[in-house]
Amino acid sequence: MSPYELTSPYEPVPPDDCLARNDWVCGEYLTTRHQLLTDATLEHLQLTGLSVLLGLVLAVPLALLARRKRWAAGPVLGVTTILYTIPSLAMFSLLLPVYGLSASVVIAGLVLYSLTLLVRNILAGLQGVPADAREAARGMGYGPLRLLLAVELPLALPAVMAGLRIATVSAVSLATVGAIVGYGGLGNLIYSGMNSFFKAQVLTASVLCVLIAIAADLLLLGVQRLLTPWERARRAAR
């Protein structure tokens, strides 16, 4: 019997396979495409993790420069803000002549986007360190490097982690646009699914993106609480 053979003059019988029906929710898609989903998810995690890590490596010295040299604060914050306002499609297109059709285009774009969030939060955290804490450390013989590593950065950590959380969630979302160059992780599945109106693929890949963003945010929140026990004590004392 054909899947659409009529049982009455008016009502066709739908196929039993949710893939053939092109349902939004389809367990058959998960079982038959699990390797495809796994590969796309791993690529998405790699793009996001590497770009945020590189962004943090660049943002720390930029924030330190902006704090030490007042003349540098305006240009650093201005340039990073301008970069963040560039639409993602335009950003990746501008980077194509430099990196070609490769994952480096996506990573470079995500790094540039993350700088605004990271630099501003790191700078705000450092500027929020109490002056008496610095003076006490200097009185104990702390030099500039030890003061930074042992006093300023730990006290600035809540603001730094807040920026890192936002930058990470933003990178998870923006990485999908990398599908325009073939390196978008789950974005590849979303865009190809939209082009073919493959409902299960679009929904599944989109849900996985949301889950990655939530999991990354919760993970970083846990790391923040682990590294800042004094914050928990201060909230508990209120």
Pick the CATH number of 23-231 from 3.40.50.300, 1.10.3720.10, 1.25.40.10, 2.40.160.50: 1.10.3720.10
The pTM (predicted TM-score) of the whole model is: 0.85
pLDDT of 167: 95
Report the 10 Å Cβ neighbour count for 109: 29
**pLDDT tens digits, 28-52:** 888 888 899 999 999 999 999 999 9
Mean pLDDT value across the chain: 85
pLDDT of 62: 93
**pLDDT tens digits, 134-172:** 888 888 888 888 888 888 888 889 999 999 999 999 999
pLDDT of 8: 42
pLDDT greater than 60 at residue 15 = no
Q: Where are the beta strands (DSSP E) in 66-197?
A: none
Distance CA 213, CA 78 (A): 28
Instruction: Tell which residue, 67, 69, 24, 5, has the closest CA to residue 201.
Output: 24
Q: Where are the domains of the chain?
A: 23-231
